[in-house]
Amino acid sequence: MGILKDCIKNKEIKGTPIWFMRQAGRYLPEFRKIRSNNSNFINLCLNPDLSKEITIQPLKRFNLDAAIVFSDILFIPYGLGQNVEFEKNFGPRLGELDIKSILEITEKDILNKLNPIYKLISMTSKEKILKDKDLIGFVGATWTIFLYMFNKKSPRKTLNEDIYNYPNTDELINKIIDVQKLHIKKQVESGATIIQIFDSWAGLLDEKKKDKYIYEPTKKIVEFTRKLGAEVICFPRCIKYYKEYCDIVGPSAINIDYEVDPIKIAENINIPIQGGMNPNCLLLEKNDMLKNAKKYLTIFKNRKYIFNLGHGVMPETNPENVKILVDFVKDF
């Protein structure tokens, strides 16, 4: 456990904790090297030796305060028996949504599929490089997982509204919640100290439906995780109601996207804040990048703030810029 968890728990800390979403990934040549020999992304994630190595790769280069488990939110549909593949230049492609077999699948079947992830976490948490640092486990939020299972691919910019008429919505949502809880519990038992909940498509939901699809399920997951003794960071991407979300869902910390005005967030939200800066800033010339970083650090200087981005690191990012940014935040 490290300064990231201390910051979330409102303890006194020195400096600003920092980590990045997608800090392990294609912008790192050492990741691309492993990836080029492992064309099946699912199998790569389920290989604990390789996924452990990938998880710690960014910590070998940069002075980060946490590692995030190298895995994917789509292991929940995968664990439920829906086929999941990752296609080059397309992204995820999911198979038929066979509701009958999904509702029948047992915990034992699910764990049989997901056990390599817990082995990866347990092995990674014992690495020396993580001493005094946090290991972040994660799940996709119920709405985002439901959306992928229904839509079978990323929705891009618009939502297929048929999703609201899916006949087995309540049963499927409850089943997803069961697996989310199981997956979180196993991650925490294996050594994850913090759980992040990614609601990447929260912004696509018709706001009038947020109680059913976002608040009710996410509140359950957050309460469950906090009872386990882990802290929970929520990232409901591109919503316009962050304050109400925090009040109702009750996460330990909130990650903000890059569309929302950080000044308004600082004024209205009292819990620790994470992220915000546009990942494109890492593609800018050094001084412009740092000017943007300084903006976030200044706005949140009297607050518990975890430096991160408003979405994941872009594949085009130069690792040298990541190093400059991390050192700048650490010296600020």
DSSP H helical ranges for the chain: 3-8, 29-36, 41-45, 48-61, 75-79, 99-104, 107-125, 142-151, 169-190, 210, 216-227, 242-249, 262-268, 286-299, 319-331
Minimum distance, C-beta of residue 273 to ligand CP3, in the bound complex (Å): 18
4 contacts 17 by C-beta, under 8 angstroms: yes
Q: Which of 86, 164, 215, 241 binds ligand CP3 (CB under 6 A)?
A: 86
Q: Does 154 bind ligand CP3 (CB under 6 A)?
A: yes
Between 312 and 319, whose beta carbon lies closer to ligand CP3?
312
| Nearest-5° Cα angle at 67, 65 to 71 | 160
Q: Which of 7, 28, 64, 73 binds ligand CP3 (CB under 6 A)?
A: 73
Minimum distance, C-beta of residue 141 to ligand CP3, in the bound complex (Å): 9
Minimum distance, C-beta of residue 71 to ligand CP3, in the bound complex (Å): 6
Q: Does 21 bind ligand CP3 (CB under 6 A)?
A: yes
Rounded distance between C-alpha atoms, residue 41 and residue 326, angstroms: 28
Q: Does 152 bind ligand CP3 (CB under 6 A)?
A: no
129 contacts 53 by C-beta, under 8 angstroms: no
Q: Which helix (H) or strand (E) holds 234?
A: strand 231-236
Q: Which of 19, 27, 70, 305 binds ligand CP3 (CB under 6 A)?
A: 70
- Number of residues in contact with ligand CP3, rule: CB under 6 A? 22
Between 137 and 266, whose beta carbon lies closer to ligand CP3?
137
Q: Which of 312, 314, 319, 330 binds ligand CP3 (CB under 6 A)?
A: 312
User: How many CB atoms are closer than 10 A to CB 32?
Assistant: 12
By CB under 6 A, what part of segment 125-144 binds ligand CP3? 138
Q: What single-letter DSSP state applies at residue 212?
A: I
Closest CA to 26 of 15, 12, 41, 14: 41
Q: Which of 16, 23, 124, 187 binds ligand CP3 (CB under 6 A)?
A: 23
Q: Does 114 bind ligand CP3 (CB under 6 A)?
A: no
Residues that bind ligand CP3 (CB under 6 A): 21-26, 35, 41, 68, 70-74, 86, 91-92, 138, 154, 198, 200, 312
